[in-house]
Chains A and B, each alone.
Chain A
Amino acid sequence: MGKRVLLVEDEPNIIEAIRFILARDGWTVETHSDGATAMDILTASPPDVLVLDVMLPGKSGFDILRDLRAHPATGSLPVLMLTAKGQGRDRELAERYGATRFMTKPFANAEVLETVNSLHVGAPGTV
């Protein structure tokens, strides 16, 4: 069984690009675009790493993060948060709700790949 990453993001062309980069590195990439149902997907079959956008239709990434930290199946899942706002407030919220890493858009491809790989290798919870 290979390494699985779930990408929760609503921008189709960003999904396509990230999927391409991660897939080439040997990841199995699953994607989901609706914030409201993301938790169902996550708890049904938790991935090895989650890449989570903040601005999602239906439910915000912060709310999803808080819910998944409270759930036994996903409590210690490594999470990379993506946001379009690099403000301190968003970073602070991400940290409070338990994001493992935080990245602002626009990001560099190499950076995403490196971070996702480090989340898989490193012990969950390390920043």
Chain B
Amino acid sequence: MLGRKQADLARSVGISPSYLNLIEHNRRRIGGKLINDIARELGVEPAALTEGAEAALLDTLREAAADHVRAAEELPRLEEFVGRFPGWANLISDTRRRAMELEHSVEVLSDRMTHDPFLSASLHEVISTVTAIRSTATILAETRDIDPEWRERFHRNMAEDSDRLAESAEALVRYLDEASSTEFAGSTPQEELDGWLRGQGFHVAELERPLLLEPEMILKGATGLRSAAAKSLARSYLERYRKDAEHMPLSRFHEEADLCGFDPAALAMKFGVDLAAVFRRLATLPVERVGAEIGLVACDGSGTLTFRKPVDGFPLPRYSAACPLWPLYLSLSRPMAPVRRRVEMGGRNPRTFVAYAICQPSHPAGFDGPQVLEAAMLILPEELATPLPSDSRVDVGTSCRICPRSACAARREPSIMAEAF
């Protein structure tokens, strides 16, 4: 923002810095007056400020239209529509987003119904026991001349099975009860963790001060984390965060980072830590301190994103798989070899970043256990990074479906954006 301190700007238009921060990241919609005030303070056209929001709106509408034959025919008139009916356009976009969220919830739930081992085992147990009881009861009811010894045996079996049935039914009810009250979020544990970290700008202040709070204490106060699984993810994250913060104290780390142009290799040498730790630490630097956002993504050996801190201009896919051309995946194919590329994210206003990636193996189950890979990619805005030769640029996207690069060699499915550009 033209080098201007966020806090000053917020003060001059009469809002809090954190609210301004939310606005900047398109997480709060703002009215015309505030837009005009901010634009005047910054000395730019109001339209320049809303461009990001409008681009997101257009993207969502394009995505919605792609699944709808008649709307797709009218795609060429999309901008005219948004211009003339901004309210209706937003309604469609919000409805679309809501529908996607609900679809995702259904997917999570049905995944759970199908794959939940406890549920499937208990249902099997209940049905088996019911079968035995039904069969035995029929014998007792319908066999007139039944031998007393058999009759006694069947009575005993029935009593036994009824007890078992009562127990498994109770366990099932208890499980479903708990599942619906505490565990149900309609989202994956990873998403819960993402949301919680986003809420505090990926900076855990409680772990940065001299007398730091225990991770367990922080978790107790974390209302955004509902499920036990999300809490367990957060616990590992915080433990690692604490170690990183110990090795790379905030003030000194920031100073050194400034001095070396945010070069992760230099910082790794300086602090005696590995590259991935430096990536993680850089991503926790508060945006108001650095003056720009630093993004970070991590994935496991399957390519599944396990950590996502997006930056403006480098959106990360929420549900679908990411762009195969990200340096992150290049590093996955050559563990331990650092990768650095200038990357340009496609879109209306393409932005260039410097991406650093490294993939490191670990052996949590010992020497003969499986090798577990984790790759991480640091996304540095070009103005922060040490300049790279301009001919080394890689054109990337977010995810194939919404990527405008129609001729991409690594494309896995057709884009819905191709004809729009």
Residues of A within 8 A of B (CB): 11, 13-14, 16-18, 20-21, 24, 55, 84-85, 105-110
Contacts and interface: CB of A to CB of B under 8 A. Distances in A.
Contacts of A11: 128, 131-132
Contacts of A105: 127-128, 130-131
Nearest to A21: B139
Contact of B135 (A17, A84, A85): A17
Interface string B123-141: 1100110111011101100
Given A11-B131, A14-B132, A108 B124 contact: no
Interface residues of B, number: 20
Interface in B160-199: 160-161
Contact of B161 (A13, A108, A110): A13
A14 B138 contact: no
Given A20-B150, A84-B124, A106 B138 contact: no
B125 to A, nearest CB: 9
A17 B128 contact: no
A110 B135 CA distance: 9
B124 A14 contact: no
Contacts, number: 55
A55 B124 contact: yes
Contact of B153 (A16, A84, A85, A107): A16
A21 B150 CA distance: 12
Given A106-B131, A107-B131, A13 B138 contact: no
B123 to A, nearest CB: 8
Contact of A106 (B124, B127, B142, B143): B127
B124 A16 contact: no
Nearest to A18: B135
Given A13-B161, A16-B157, A106-B134, A84 B139 contact: no
A97 to B, nearest CB: 20
A20 B132 CA distance: 12
Nearest to A109: B138
Contacts of A110: 138
B132 A84 contact: no
- 9 residue pairs, one from A and one from B, having the closest CB atoms: A17-B135, A13-B132, A106-B131, A105-B131, A84-B127, A13-B157, A109-B138, A106-B134, A14-B132
A14 B136 CA distance: 8
Contacts of A14: 128, 131-132, 135
Contact of A17 (B123, B124, B127, B139): B139
Contacts of B160: 13
A13 B127 CA distance: 13
A17 B132 contact: yes
A15 to B, nearest CB: 9
A36 to B, nearest CB: 19
A35 to B, nearest CB: 15
A51 to B, nearest CB: 13
A87 B46 CA distance: 59
Nearest to A15: B132
A18 B128 CA distance: 13
Contact of A84 (B128, B138, B142, B157): B128
A18 B135 CA distance: 8
